[in-house]
Structure 1
Amino acid sequence: MRKVDPVKQEEKRQEILAAAGRCFSRDGFRGASIAGICVEAGISPGHLYYYFENKEAIVAAMTNIAMGQAVSRFTALMEGPDTIAALMSVVEAAWQRYKPEHRSVLLDVMAEAGRNPAIAATLQTHSRSLHDLVAGLLRAGQGRGQVDPGLDTDMAARLVMGLVDAPKTMMTRDPDFDPQAGLAMTRTLIGRFLTPPAKAGLH
């Protein structure tokens, strides 16, 4: 019996996910088919099913990877003594990484989470991780006197996460939306929202 090479197996798995991502971006989640993904990846359906049970499993894997990478990026960006600057760097990085061509895939995944409990669970698990990181940073900032002590850090973290996600929907609702101008305004919003009243009054 031939021994399975875990490195090559993972490489093939990533190739399938990349091919699926191109199909989803081009055709949408509902429009993309297993047959189309196989053509894009240059493999047979039987080969694909060896790695993934169905299309939903592919989406769940893509979501899990993307959200896991987001948690890692957030963790790295949040290191540093200045709480508000760290949060701004998180939001800026998210906006700068966002590409208009990814919009349909992102919205499709969000819509699919409303129908698919497995994908919803993946999104919710990673969202909680991101929320906990932001809330923890805000509490640390309150302890350092950098964040308004009167803020509910759990709710504030949710609102900051909403700003991270903003470009995903803004460009769909408003084709004239300028992301650079929006990011500049977002910096102002975060600064005014989080800065303690006494410090805000000095500006």
Structure 2
Amino acid sequence: MRKVDPVKHEQKRRDILDAAFRCFIKDGFHGASTTDICAAAKISPGHLYHYFSSKEAIVEAMVDMGLESAAREFGKISAAPDFIEALIDYLEHGSLRHRTAQVLSLDALAEAARNPQFAGIVEKHASVSRNLLVDFIGTAQRQGQIDPDLDPAATANILLAVIDGARAMPIRTPTLDIEQSLAHLRTLLSRFLKPPREMSAHIRRVTRRTNAPLNASRKK
């Protein structure tokens, strides 16, 4: 039996995943076939099954890679001195300015609605992402950065909805003012997440900044 070189095997897996990624972006999860993926990866269908048993197995491998990336991103957010600013940065670069994430996120939800096997993959992704967020929220609550009265699991569900919604915004509104949207998201998250005392101080700071030009003009 011919020995498999693990390095070459892993590289070929990644080549196939890259090819699948391009196909899914072009034709969607439902529209892209294993034949399309094989053509993009320049391999035969028989060769594909040495690496992945089905199209769903390819998607699941892509989800696992995405979860590893999400864990790194949430780790950065939880370690940041200002968690809301770190979360806003994630929403900007991971959602509002990330076209491929927008396309794949919405298409994955659509495919999950009609494909039970795909729905299981999406549910797994959501469950792991939710658990990562729950841990992050609990840490931030202990640090006094998030309202301790918020339920971590329910809060994680809301934040996932915000992330999904942010990805949909540029598709719904191609002329979206991203800077304005980020400012409103910052206000939304501050009002939702900050402890009441912190929120009151935040409102006072914003009010002072807003009224400063008006007060200056009156003095003149």
Q: Common fold, TM-score beyond 0.5?
A: yes
* 2:123 paired residue number: 124
Contact 1:83 1:138 in 2 (8 A): no
Give the structure with higher Rg (CA): 2
Q: What residue number does 1:23 align with?
A: 23
**1:173 Cα shift?**
2.3
- Give the drift of 1:22: 0.9
CA distance in 1 between partners of 2:105 and 2:193 (Å): 29
Q: Which residue number in structure 2 is paired with residue 91 of structure 1?
A: 91
Q: Secondary structure at the match of 1:145?
A: coil
Q: Is the partner of 1:50 in helix, strand or coil? A: coil
Give CA deviations for 1:92-129 in whole Å, capped at 9, x if unaligned.
44236x52245333322222223334433333233223
Q: Which has the higher helix share?
A: 2
Q: Cα offset for 1:9?
A: 0.7
CA distance in 2, matches of 1:23, 1:67: 20
Pairs within 5 Å for 1:1-203? 1-95=1-95, 98-202=97-201, 203=204
What is the alpha-carbon distance in structure 2 between the residues aligned to residue 3 and residue 10 of structure 1? 14
| CA 142–28 in structure 1, closer or farther in 2 if over 3 Å, else same | closer
Structure 2 residue matching 1:43: 3-state secondary structure: coil
Normalised TM-score (structure 1): 0.84
**What displacement does 1:45 show?**
1.3
Which moves more between the two structures, 153-162 or 138-147? 138-147
Cα deviation digits, residues 24-83 of structure 1 (max 9, x gap): 211222222222222211111111122222222222222222123212321233124544
CA distance in structure 2 between the aligned counterparts of 1:133 and 1:26, rounded to whole angstroms: 30
**Aligned pairs, how many?**
202
Worse-matched range after superposition: 171-180 or 151-160: 171-180
Identity of aligned residues (%): 42
> 1:168 corresponds to which letter in structure 2?
R
* Range that drifts further, 35-44 or 55-64: 55-64
Higher RCO, Cα 8 Å, sep 6+? 1
Equivalent position amino acid for 1:10 in 2: E
Kindly tell me: are residues 39 and 184 of structure 1, through their superposed partners in 2, closer, same or farther at Cα, counting changes over 3 Å?
same
Is the 1:64–1:122 contact (alpha carbons within 8 Å) kept by the matching residues of 2? no
Consecutive unaligned residues in structure 1, runs of 5 or more = none
Unmatched tracts of structure 2, length 5 or more? 205-220
Say if 2:95 and 2:102, in contact at 8 Å, map to a contact too: no
C-alpha contact 2:78 2:139 (8 A) present in aligned 1 = no
Q: How many angstroms apart in 2 are the aligned matches of 1:57 and 1:114?
A: 18
**Equivalent-residue separation in structure 2 for 1:35 and 1:73 (angstroms):** 34
Q: Please, which moves more after superposition, 16-25 or 175-184?
A: 175-184
Distance in 2 between residues matched to 1:201 and 1:104, nearest whole Å: 38
